[in-house]
Structure 1
């Protein structure tokens, strides 16, 4: 009977509008939920099969929920460096537990990036879900995999200890006074035969100088250079200069202070690391060609490749002219390069007082973790108070062919569904994945004006559906009363 179908159509209208009201209520309740994606009830007509000449049978309406998961919310600035927002496509990969993850443990996906460091150092959002990323291996490399979730691990910033960085480069900006008087020891070294008390890097060197004992030769000028070893320990090198009687040439020695910090091979003594001659041009610059012509007699035959090599403490005895760190120090091998021809200065010989303008090194002493920063590519970097930075991990972003078809779970997260398609793991800014914004959070996509308007229309539609039922009831009552 058509009246019965009208009655049932009214019931379907009540059911459908109830579902729409539930979706609107969910949206309004989550208007301030970080990363929330609005849901909307959408209606579709239900049509019953009709028999010709038998009247019309109303089918009613069916409500389905449509999830706008792919709709991006506005990024809002925060004061926390671990708050993360995604500008573009992609979801953070999260898990419900931080440690001992198995392949069977659920991996969820979310845009809610309000992460903070928990008591174990893991990054966890307000729903208690832990952020996943590709870790840095022992060699400092990050190996990404677009399809294997088990290659991800929970990002931990609390397990990062202190670090140090060994010195590998020294830039020396210093001037040697060209009018420096030639000492008696240097003069004696240039006579034939060699005079009494002559300077000799092997038997009467600047490294042997001791005014109280009356040994060695006093340098005309000396520069000390701080050096950090592989453990962050502070070592000291000294570069001593003695003006030669040969114009534009100086004797030079590089030595360790104290001398027992190193073990040296034949030809070196008293902590010496390198000895030789430094030559200058007539306009006061380092004479690279002259030093190349000096060959083995030069401090560095090739000033552009001026390096000192220290063997490790546990290496075998050094060869002639070589040096190891002392066995008691227990430190690793090290190569220190000297920049003596820097455009900003370098080593010069002008007729002004001998002076050191700057000694620049790149090594650092031991430093503690001061902060953790996350850049737009998702690289998590530890910054130490000694200026050293070290990457910890890279945040993985998951993209889907149909993100609107993901299945919702509690905690403002999603699971893979048959309709969503399989995930694809990417680094931020690659393969269509969005960029990551640190100190930003994605706002809810709920628009209150739209929801309140929908609330009014849904209420009216519900009332109208109830009128269908009451009207159909009155018509049935009229039909029943015909017999009276």
Structure 2
């Protein structure tokens, strides 16, 4: 019955070619689909059993799909920062939501895999591709850059907030001129440091030497001075015989009657004047230079604290008031008012120093600022941050303290200063010497200190405490070469602090790191995109939207992949249109040939039937 077998075989051939045509049409239809992997068709012959080889005949045919998942598509650049493409082996880990609850996606926990990298941030802060698959990865600590675990999870970047980071390190690189252009050098006595363009300690106020003698001056710390128990009135009034001690908290006590309109108290050069009750300033108003005589003790002390940076305190058991220097400067309070004496202090009061040493070593006071600026050059400025994220303008200046041009025993030496108080007055410290002698050799290279960094202790600018700062100079970062302008050339001045910030946008870099741009100008790592690979890549089960599911033949997903992620890129379809058109022609011809076999077999059967007639 070979004729009828031929008919069946031809029908099988038509089915196989139809199967091939279906795959070809699908490949052509997805020629522009992102990350699409074409499906090829393989044909397999079906040979009927035969007892002897010489009686074996050609059998039928069946068609199978052959995946080309491992075949790379063309990678092209994109302007979308969250798009990404994989070059080489690997798949993005994704999940598809099963529904939503309170507008938040709900997931089944089943991970799928895709090469389709057209991810964008949705309203909930997830990275979702155009097929609806949610990207997975490992969150990263934005401050340290270290991954937070190793198990991929659906990424979400909604309302990410980073707390402030205090400045701890300054990166600095500069060239100091061999001969600085200081104003004093042209008129200075020959053979002196000022004639060589440097700083002369003798030009500064006695008792305040801008140079560090011996060990660096300690940073300012809080020093106090306490008055005797005060005889302030209490509210409500009580009978006062020999005087009633101040008790309780300051706002509950009124000012002594010894204060009169026009009395003044001078705190660190700032005068506080007492006014009458008819003044337009309401009681307790935040006017740092006036106090009404009907104000409370607390009002006066808070205004003193606003000037010093640290409010005075009261011993509730004795009524004694303690003044604080704070951590920025010395404290000077003067008054000739009887009320001030009644509060427990003498007519003229000078408090202890807050620090810096009794000789004022390494300190430039406000009265000496003009001379200091004439004998020093700018070293640049940088915005640094305290622990709360408050921005602080850190000004630097360099002063040449010794010069090799002065002869034997001298070397080119510089001191670095920072501005401690931009609003300093009188004897308040305005600039602080960092306490290190920077010495240069004849070749202009830094010879001392040895190493790439120094520590600047106890840095405080105004009322903002920054603590110890590390100044990193790097290798060859600080030099002394001749400069025509006589100014410092600052090549780099950076720091590692920042204010708190809110997430503004995200993008993916070429290392597969999701980087967030924050309102404080910081670009910080938020997550690492996870990749997986398989031993049997082409045996994955294709799902809608360019995703794949694990099968027994593919094996389980293996974390990591040799492929490389390219940010702002997309992988296109791996379909070759020319190749598909060639297959289309061959398939059409094969299909037509099978129909001819059916026609021929039918004619032969008709001839056979005609024999019987």
TM-score w.r.t. the length of structure 1 is 0.70
Match of 2:421 in 1: 257
Per-residue CA deviation, residues 54-97 of structure 1 (Å, 9 max, x unaligned), is 98776411111111111111212222222212111111111113
Match of 1:171 in 2: 172
Output the CA distance in 1 between the equivalents of 2:166 and 2:363.
25
Q: How many angstroms does 1:218 deviate by?
A: 7.0
Structure 2 gap segments, 5+ residues each: 99-103, 183-192, 210-355
Secondary structure in structure 2 of the residue aligned to 1:92: strand
Per-residue CA deviation, residues 358-414 of structure 1 (Å, 9 max, x unaligned), is 482414543665654433332222345766332112222211112111111111111
Are the structure 2 counterparts of residues 243 and 12 from structure 1 closer, same or farther at C-alpha, using a change threshold of 3 Å?
closer
Output the CA distance in 1 between the equivalents of 2:584 and 2:453.
77
User: Is the contact made by 2:159 and 2:502 (CA closer than 8 Å) also made in structure 1?
Assistant: no
Output the CA distance in 2 between the equivalents of 1:52 and 1:283.
101
Does the alignment pair 1:476 with 2:605? yes
User: Is the contact made by 2:136 and 2:155 (CA closer than 8 Å) also made in structure 1?
Assistant: yes
**How many residue pairs align between the two structures?**
426
Secondary structure in structure 2 of the residue aligned to 1:257: coil
Within the candidate set 373, 376, 392, 1:235 is matched to 392
Q: How many angstroms does 1:483 deviate by?
A: 3.2
Q: How many angstroms does 1:133 deviate by?
A: 1.6
Are the structure 2 counterparts of residues 189 and 158 from structure 1 closer, same or farther at C-alpha, using a change threshold of 3 Å?
closer
Output the CA distance in 2 between the equivalents of 1:342 and 1:462.
76
Output the CA distance in 1 between the equivalents of 2:3 and 2:95.
54
Secondary structure in structure 1 of the residue aligned to 2:16: helix
Per-residue CA deviation, residues 428-458 of structure 1 (Å, 9 max, x unaligned), is xxxxx12122222222121222222222221
Does the alignment pair 1:306 with 2:454? yes
User: Is the contact made by 2:207 and 2:360 (CA closer than 8 Å) also made in structure 1?
Assistant: no
Does the alignment pair 1:456 with 2:604? no
Output the CA distance in 1 between the equivalents of 2:35 and 2:394.
57
Within the candidate set 366, 382, 389, 2:523 is matched to 389
Does the alignment pair 1:377 with 2:511? yes
Output the CA distance in 2 between the equivalents of 1:54 and 1:218.
115
Match of 2:555 in 1: 421
Match of 1:31 in 2: 31
Structure 1 gap segments, 5+ residues each: 146-150, 191-199, 261-268, 290-300, 311-322, 428-432
Secondary structure in structure 2 of the residue aligned to 1:436: strand
User: Is the contact made by 2:134 and 2:154 (CA closer than 8 Å) also made in structure 1?
Assistant: yes
Output the CA distance in 1 between the equivalents of 2:460 and 2:602.
103
Are the structure 2 counterparts of residues 237 and 94 from structure 1 closer, same or farther at C-alpha, using a change threshold of 3 Å?
closer
5 Å matches for 1:119-268? 119-137=123-141, 139-142=144-147, 151-161=151-161, 165-167=165-167, 168-169=169-170, 171=172, 177=182, 178-179=193-194, 183=202, 201-202=357-358, 209=365, 220-221=372-373, 226=382, 227-236=384-393, 256-257=420-421
Match of 1:407 in 2: 541
Output the CA distance in 1 between the equivalents of 2:567 and 2:605.
65
User: Is the contact made by 1:204 and 1:217 (CA closer than 8 Å) also made in structure 2?
Assistant: no
Per-residue CA deviation, residues 287-321 of structure 1 (Å, 9 max, x unaligned), is 977xxxxxxxxxxx9896531355xxxxxxxxxxx
User: Is the contact made by 1:372 and 1:381 (CA closer than 8 Å) also made in structure 2?
Assistant: yes
The more displaced of 404-413 and 225-234 is: 225-234
Within the candidate set 102, 107, 111, 2:111 is matched to 107
Match of 2:49 in 1: 49
User: Is the contact made by 1:340 and 1:347 (CA closer than 8 Å) also made in structure 2?
Assistant: no
User: Is the contact made by 1:238 and 1:257 (CA closer than 8 Å) also made in structure 2?
Assistant: no
Match of 2:185 in 1: none
Larger Cα Rg: Structure 1 or Structure 2? 2
Are the structure 2 counterparts of residues 341 and 181 from structure 1 closer, same or farther at C-alpha, using a change threshold of 3 Å?
farther
Secondary structure in structure 2 of the residue aligned to 1:156: coil
Are the structure 2 counterparts of residues 462 and 270 from structure 1 closer, same or farther at C-alpha, using a change threshold of 3 Å?
same
Does the alignment pair 1:118 with 2:122? yes
Secondary structure in structure 1 of the residue aligned to 2:588: helix
Output the CA distance in 1 between the equivalents of 2:37 and 2:436.
74
TM-score w.r.t. the length of structure 2 is 0.57
The more displaced of 181-190 and 131-140 is: 181-190
User: Is the contact made by 2:365 and 2:431 (CA closer than 8 Å) also made in structure 1?
Assistant: no
The more displaced of 357-366 and 1-10 is: 357-366
